[in-house]
Amino acid sequence: MATMNMEIVTPHGKIFEGEIKSVTLPGAEGEFGVLPSHASLVTTLKGGVIEIETAEGKKELVAVNWGHVKVDGKKITVLADGAVAIGGSESEITKNLEEAKKLIKSMSDSDIAIAAATAKLETAAKSRF
């Protein structure tokens, strides 16, 4: 299966970098997916969860408060103001989940968006235990 390179960068450094099969992003106009050979675009991201399927088939989650994404050929670049990767051991996932919830709540003005992102994070975290 075709893959593309993706990186998520914050002012504090890279949160994620690697080859992916697909990604779902929280766009300002709603969630959207990107697959290899996607048309080029630049758009704004709102607070929410980025769902990544790596080239190895592993699922990765990254919570973002807001940012921009650029899709260009075989590369996706996310520039986020703040981001928290959800992963690691059970205790790390629990800690990162709390940080991710705080991050999303700090930037979103919509209770519905906060509830949707929080539910997505909790569901994904439970499936990893």
In 3D, which of 104, 97, 126 has the Cα closest to residue 26? 104
pTM equals 0.78
- Residue 129, pLDDT score: 44
pLDDT in tens, 101-116: 677 666 656 666 666 7
> What is the mean predicted confidence (pLDDT) over 22-44?
94
89 token code pair = 């051991």
pLDDT in tens, 23-33: 999 998 999 99
CATH code of residue 66 = 2.60.15.10
Q: Report which DSSP code applies to 96.
A: H
73 token code pair = 């050929």
Residue 65 dihedral angles phi and psi, to the nearest 5°: -90, -40
Any idea which residue has 């930037």 for tokens? 107
Per the structure, the count of domains in the chain is 1
pLDDT in tens, 3-21: 999 999 999 899 999 999 9
Any idea which residue has 């509830």 for tokens? 115
- How far is it, in rounded angstroms, from Cα 34 to Cα 119? 22
> What is the mean predicted confidence (pLDDT) over 68-73?
93
Domain range for 23 = 1-129
34 token code pair = 């990107």
- Residue 5, pLDDT score: 97
Taking a C-beta distance cutoff of 8 angstroms, is the pair 32, 50 a contact? Answer: no
